[in-house]
Structure 1
């Protein structure tokens, strides 16, 4: 419920701003030279555990053949392994290797350094506002994850 004193959320501006932040991070020099889909796939495996190829393709909104190519490149780089699913030998289960976990951590640290340098230039009140927004943004992600869709 809002009233005349509550600022209206400009969701179009929010989306545009988030897109700009994502582009900024993608332009940053991150270890590993991974495509956005490969980096996201590796992140998913590191943080959510082993997954079937079909589930990864669905999560990344790519075709199964495209995900097969991504996984092949990650496997050749020593970042993931693939094995037959013990519950269904026809299916493949993909998992991150220790090297994949280390690279994901290094990429996270590099992104944090980029953001830290920028955030340090904000006024303390703006930093506090940004800190308060993080749980709300996390909640948006959780809602989208529960729906299984990002529309």
Structure 2
């Protein structure tokens, strides 16, 4: 079954596509100019989640990151091999393991955040006060609408 597309749908779709493209460009710029961690965005996001929710089980990490357990298992194995994460026994379940960041993992994310924050701050400094407030307000509203606050 097809539905009729109104002019409002087309404008809305174009606006969404433009906004998505702009967000992608912003993310890419912050990622490429904001430090040389050699981690993909997905791996860095997993490490960030481990740091902020440790100790955490792999299943909970996979759920938080919206990936399958096998995918997360590969990501964690890579982080563990690089010395950014360690597994410890779960005191509540001897068969399970908990993920904890190592000091090197915490430092890696902290440095990446610092560099990305500097890049973002430099861009915001090029805006006048009203535009900075508008950007901040818009991003807060979008984060709330996406349920990421």
Which category describes the TM-score, using the shorter chain as reference length? 0.7 to 0.9
How does the TM-score come out when normalised to structure 2?
A: 0.76
Is the counterpart of residue 119 in structure 1 residue 124 in structure 2?
Answer: yes
1:76 pairs, out of 74, 81, 96, with 81
Aligned to 1:34, what secondary structure does the other structure show?
coil
C-alpha displacement of 1:80: 1.0
Structure 2 residue aligned with 1:104: 109
Among residues 8, 23, 26, which one is paired with 2:28 in the alignment? 23
Counterpart check, 1:64 vs 2:69: yes
Conservation of the 8 A alpha-carbon contact between 2:62 and 2:72: yes
How far the C-alpha of 1:134 sits from its partner, in A, is 4.3
CA distance in structure 2 between the partners assigned to 1:144 and 1:114 by the alignment: 22
Largest Rg, 1 or 2 = 2
Higher mean C-alpha displacement, 91-100 vs 104-113: 91-100
CA RMSD, aligned part only? 2.3
Question: What TM-score, normalized to structure 1?
Answer: 0.75
1:88-143 alpha-carbon deviations (Å, 9 max, x no partner)? 222221111222112111111111111112222222321122233343344335x2
Unaligned 5+ segments in structure 1 are 1-7, 146-151
Paired with 1:105 and 1:115, the residues of 2 have a C-alpha distance of 15
- Aligned partner (choices 47, 61, 74) of residue 52 of structure 2: 47
Unmatched 5+ stretches in structure 2: 1-11
Residue equivalent to 1:34: 39
User: 1:144 deviation in Å?
Assistant: 4.8
Whole-Å separation in 2 of the counterparts to 1:65 and 1:128: 42
Tell me whether 1:139 sits opposite 2:139 in the alignment. no
Cα deviation, 1:8-37, whole Å, max 9, x if unaligned, reads 9x5554433322222222332524211111
Instruction: Report the secondary structure of 2:131's partner residue.
Output: helix
